Structure 1
């Protein structure tokens, strides 16, 4: 039979019963302690010692703890692993209380609400998501509590569930609130389980009525204009959850916008993944992504905004052109560009700092960072005031100088404040007279005492000295010979053999001040600090607007630096439905290509003659790179960026769809072919005539005839019903005759140079079709043993002899649609005239590039060694162009 619990443990168990899902950090003196299962979990996850404590039970209760002054790092570790942490503090001064100190939870830290400086990746948003069910729809809300940004969308029942998947893939929340403890639909749950690790589901029920929730949302976001009732309910629900969890003000959460806006390109989950826009396929990091190439931002705010731009490009021509004009002007103003970037390099993440100011978790160093950030704003505004582009002028208007706030922080916060308030010396000397006096007492008490002694001697004319003991405190000691001259306001406290000891009201006041000075300093600094926080809160909205403007300026400057250093060009944005890119290059591959010159290619897509490009040719020759390149250049162009090309005119597309690569979905038991077919089905259902569709090797996961049939059916469906601008790469060269049926379908292939049995893939996309896959040549490049390669050639010859070949199959495939008569040999004609470098005079692929480079050389001003280096580089380009 267990014994009665101790009073402290009873208090712990009562608080823990109200927070069963969280790890309870229970404040005991200088430590946060955890007990029972919480202690076992924390000990395992934090690698700290598990001990036991007598708490009234027969056996010791499992226990572990962390120092309260170092708790932040431990909490961050737990939250990143998907745990919630409830912080239980002492609400009374233990010295002033007899018995059990009153304690309660002051806040709960969850993966979606963490606000500490190191708790979030500075260069990425940390979104909290809400799934709210209304009568006829889902309302999705995404909120970054640290920055105050809110995005919402309504998903109707007749709309596709993939919209939810796309939103989750874009914002990648750390936590999902399940309003009224609703369960996620099974397919959404499967998607979450498959795509995310450590994502926390938080079932939550608000006690407010729908009307109260709606009123709360309307009041909080009063300046956001008219919004639907159910959206206001969802926003109110989110605010209610935040109030219950972080238990403080949330007025900094003010920047609200809708997800599905008409001026944005939609990049679905598969496209974001296949194109490696912001996360790579290898480990989910940013290395080798488009974001990695374009990110030269200097502020965390800018880094987060660039990521959002890349995941949600523009479709509005005017907006794209405004960004282009700003980037062009920054490029043209070299001195100003470097000035702006030097200023931006001194800007801290004050978008998140003001969030911590609002929620009461701001540190002294946060105020220092904010002060240093504000210091350079007038210089930024001065530089921007000289700019002509509309975007930069608008940014200048949206960046406030915040002179008053800067002066306040300069006067109030020490030059190098302590890390925490308890360490003192956070408020600057001279800011508050009472604090200055207390500090003076604490640091110069002996000097002050000597001065008081001298003043009393001068006033009374008697000899005396000061002293101190623990019983009487500070005193004046006067010899018996001088006792008769002691003034009336001297109060005798002790008689000695040769002297009397006195106190005076002034000395007693000094004693009280000295003994309580340190405690008062801490209390007064905390009061002044909170007063300062309340003053800064009054201008949070303006500071947030400045932060957002600086983030945009940082992104534009980053794109300008990349464009300038990589010699990108500004594409012309048109509305005629055409995409014409001359000598386009893949920005990521070009950046990381070490030993080769990247081979540029033209891209021409329109609704007139080249709506559907059927690309055949050998594996590993560059087909996938070419298609990904087209999609990535569109994304770059539609965020306003310059692109790697010789020249380009581009019509924005509403969506980019990709079906590239092969992968199983083991978690849901789906094969490579099933994954492929689901992605193709999604594309065929959602693509429009204004979309860009990228399809790579459709049908390769099944038998030859099944795969070929599916591939042709997909081609015909797009050509007949969708009319999207499409790049379709395939190893089924039997599809080549379809060019005769569909006038907007054109055959393209990869140029090949053959020398006997040796093959060189030139990576240049040219008009025509291919009749071979060159699989054995690719195997040779991959390093298969020579014996295997020779055996493969024997088997291939045998198969070609037994099955007269692809010509007959091509004819049969063509006849499914053509029912041809006189043109039954069309497929044979295309394939017998294969577009190799031996049979087609395509010239040197780099003729124009070499000539342009040569014409730009100033021979007369070059040294001999410079001339040799230049000649060597031109020769290398020419060799690559000739496939040598």
Structure 2
């Protein structure tokens, strides 16, 4: 029996068969269309009309679609439900198909699989929050994880625990997952998922067990970093390498071979931090208040950073403060140097103009960059150069703290590329490179010549219209353009016959109101215009690609600059808080002491100041001989405020920040635990 499936539907089914676990967005003209079960699922989630197109096995084929230019308005709903979306684009032009004497539908290919953990678009991401993709593997009872945020380039791994007690493994893993807030988690299909709480099961993406081999994972990591051995990258367990390799393989799959730019893989197994478990983090209202809202949290109180990267780094520091005293003092020393040596107002002006380097660079590295990304990077790096010059112009150059020397070293690059890009691009830029028009006049002589030619040719269209008006005596005759007919001559229907009587006019189309014609002369002119337009776009795209390739080569340098800007942003924020909030630099010691004079709760103090009230400061003196205080008192007497106040002061100090107190001597703390009443919402 002969198949009734159309060539287009055969193409669709062939592509869908390769991406069974994703909803297939199949490009048809100006729409992405979905068919069969994909259409049923998507229409319900997106609340769009479910219609039909053709038949399969005698049954109607369900269909729905969304406009391609507004797809990003629909994607978040599907992503939040945990679906992957395979984006299938037309990768062949009509002209290319004709040159091959090809029949049937134009070639289409999946160019990207969008998943919750692989987003790069700003309108699909939260500006100040990381979007982590995680991979979990258990090897010889060791729970190993790797995670990456492809929108910022972060890539890390860690051994969580070496325990054979399932309950202990589950507890540690649960706490880690709560703290990391992964968007998507890769696990082996044969993993015992009972170790993972049920609330995360919707985030799990099961992979073939064959992916979780050490040798293939090792090769994936080496291949990505173009090294023959991982020894130069650092020390990693076998489980960490497996998790990292699986993650890279998944990125290669979802990005269709184009893995985004990631920082050098970093193991956090041996990194010492002030450990704050999720429940303590929640109790102390570090990222959200007890109601789960941002307002009233510690980060909402403190975050006065000017850059997206600075805000993300501040969040990380507050939930994972330093343990090593040198790392803490490095941050404090940077703030003190800025207080002594610089006018920070100028720095703040520069920082306000710094874009999200990491996310623009990420899009460029996977061929999703736009002219706007190029301009943002270039404009921002011009301001980085200004910051660099201001930092190095200070006479006290030799006495700069070590962290500042690292920042200056990262800023010490050749900025000529970015000045060249800034010089090349127009101020008003299109959303993509496809239509051209983003390279300014005067940058490329050949492009200028083509634009002049095109401008003259369009003027010739106007002259040709005048010529045909004179020839026909039809003053309403127009030469118009649309996507279907291209350039054509249009007259009202009443003039149809008089135009037909002139031999060199060729009839194209008749509507109720108008008649449309062309001529050999007009066709030749249109071909010249289109050729010059196509050639112009090719030149602009070539310039764009050259710039993006050069930027990718400088990717490591740009990531280092982004990190340094975030560090500097936080330091300048702390300088502001020294002046505006009377925060002070704590003295950090490697002994058992917590001596806080006239300490204040940062969040409560800020909230009551808004009501023109003042916070009554209080002291805390703990030392080796007097290590426990028992606090009693009636309800609403301030016990929770006092307990949390001192915990937050320790966290702020070890995060490298200044603290709300008159004086503070703080011995390094390795863990903080806190449980307070669920009704103690200090924001209220």
Aligned position for 2:53 = 53
Aligned position for 1:63 = 63
2:550 aligned residue (535, 553, 578): 535
Is the 1:315–1:652 contact (alpha carbons within 8 Å) kept by the matching residues of 2? yes
Aligned position for 1:218 = 222
Map Cα deviations across residues 338-361 of structure 1 (whole Å, 9 max, x no partner).
Answer: 111110000000111111111111
Q: Hey, what's the Cα distance between the residues in 2 that align with 1:128 and 1:597?
A: 44
Map Cα deviations across residues 588-628 of structure 1 (whole Å, 9 max, x no partner).
Answer: 111112364322221111221x2111111111101111111
Is the 1:3–1:57 contact (alpha carbons within 8 Å) kept by the matching residues of 2? no
Q: Hey, what's the Cα distance between the residues in 2 that align with 1:528 and 1:508?
A: 30
- What is the CA distance between 1:28 and its match in structure 2? 0.9
Is the 1:584–1:644 contact (alpha carbons within 8 Å) kept by the matching residues of 2? yes
Deviates more, 1:615-624 or 1:210-219: 210-219
1:280 match: secondary structure: coil
Aligned position for 1:200 = 203
- What is the CA distance between 1:44 and its match in structure 2? 2.5
Superposition TM-score, scaled by structure 1 size: 0.65
- What is the CA distance between 1:509 and its match in structure 2? 9.6
Q: Hey, what's the Cα distance between the residues in 1 that align with 2:58 and 2:648?
A: 67
Alignment partner of 1:648 is 2:664: yes
Is the 2:136–2:185 contact (alpha carbons within 8 Å) kept by the matching residues of 1? yes
Is the 2:307–2:352 contact (alpha carbons within 8 Å) kept by the matching residues of 1? yes
Instruction: State how 1:136-215 maps to structure 2 within 5 Å.
Output: 136-158=141-163, 160-161=168-169, 162-178=171-187, 180-190=188-198, 192=200, 200-205=203-208, 209-215=213-219
Aligned position for 2:310 = 302
Aligned position for 2:353 = 346
1:612 match: secondary structure: coil
Alignment partner of 1:412 is 2:424: yes
Instruction: State how 1:771-786 maps to structure 2 within 5 Å.
Output: none
Is the 2:425–2:440 contact (alpha carbons within 8 Å) kept by the matching residues of 1? yes
1:203 match: secondary structure: strand
2:267 aligned residue (258, 273, 277): 258
- What is the CA distance between 1:524 and its match in structure 2? 3.6
Query: Do the aligned partners of residues 336 and 81 (structure 1) sit closer, same or farther apart at CA in structure 2, a change above 3 Å counting?
Result: farther
- What is the CA distance between 1:512 and its match in structure 2? 4.9
- What is the CA distance between 1:427 and its match in structure 2? 2.3
1:597 aligned residue (601, 614, 635): 614
Query: Do the aligned partners of residues 556 and 52 (structure 1) sit closer, same or farther apart at CA in structure 2, a change above 3 Å counting?
Result: same
Aligned position for 2:649 = 633
1:118 match: secondary structure: helix
Is the 2:52–2:60 contact (alpha carbons within 8 Å) kept by the matching residues of 1? yes
Aligned position for 2:278 = 269
1:438 aligned residue (441, 450, 453): 450
Aligned position for 1:720 = none
2:438 aligned residue (402, 422, 426): 426
- What is the CA distance between 1:402 and its match in structure 2? 4.0
Is the 1:218–1:232 contact (alpha carbons within 8 Å) kept by the matching residues of 2? no
1:614 match: secondary structure: coil
Query: Do the aligned partners of residues 379 and 6 (structure 1) sit closer, same or farther apart at CA in structure 2, a change above 3 Å counting?
Result: same
Query: Higher RCO, 1 or 2 (CA under 8 Å, sep at least 6)?
Result: 2
Is the 1:441–1:513 contact (alpha carbons within 8 Å) kept by the matching residues of 2? no
Query: Do the aligned partners of residues 98 and 588 (structure 1) sit closer, same or farther apart at CA in structure 2, a change above 3 Å counting?
Result: same
- What is the CA distance between 1:206 and its match in structure 2? 6.8
Aligned position for 1:587 = 602
- What is the CA distance between 1:508 and its match in structure 2? 11
Q: Hey, what's the Cα distance between the residues in 2 that align with 1:248 and 1:380?
A: 37
Alignment partner of 1:316 is 2:296: no
1:355 aligned residue (350, 362, 369): 362
Is the 2:147–2:244 contact (alpha carbons within 8 Å) kept by the matching residues of 1? no
Instruction: State how 1:480-491 maps to structure 2 within 5 Å.
Output: none
Alignment partner of 1:562 is 2:574: no
Instruction: State how 1:104-123 maps to structure 2 within 5 Å.
Output: 104-123=109-128
2:89 match: secondary structure: strand
Is the 1:86–1:107 contact (alpha carbons within 8 Å) kept by the matching residues of 2? yes
- What is the CA distance between 1:566 and its match in structure 2? 0.6
Query: Do the aligned partners of residues 435 and 217 (structure 1) sit closer, same or farther apart at CA in structure 2, a change above 3 Å counting?
Result: same
Instruction: State how 1:72-151 maps to structure 2 within 5 Å.
Output: 72-94=72-94, 96=97, 97-151=102-156
Map Cα deviations across residues 567-601 of structure 1 (whole Å, 9 max, x no partner).
Answer: 11111111221111111111011111236432222
Query: Do the aligned partners of residues 304 and 237 (structure 1) sit closer, same or farther apart at CA in structure 2, a change above 3 Å counting?
Result: same
Q: Hey, what's the Cα distance between the residues in 1 that align with 2:627 and 2:20?
A: 60
Aligned position for 2:565 = 550
Is the 1:2–1:58 contact (alpha carbons within 8 Å) kept by the matching residues of 2? no
Q: Hey, what's the Cα distance between the residues in 2 that align with 1:48 and 1:384?
A: 55
- What is the CA distance between 1:562 and its match in structure 2? 2.1
- What is the CA distance between 1:436 and its match in structure 2? 2.4
2:656 match: secondary structure: coil
Q: Hey, what's the Cα distance between the residues in 2 that align with 1:349 and 1:566?
A: 28
2:247 match: secondary structure: helix
- What is the CA distance between 1:51 and its match in structure 2? 2.0
- What is the CA distance between 1:104 and its match in structure 2? 2.3
Query: Do the aligned partners of residues 625 and 352 (structure 1) sit closer, same or farther apart at CA in structure 2, a change above 3 Å counting?
Result: same
Aligned position for 1:398 = 410
Map Cα deviations across residues 449-486 of structure 1 (whole Å, 9 max, x no partner).
Answer: 999xxxxxxxxxxxxxxxx9x9xx9xxxxxxxxxxxxx
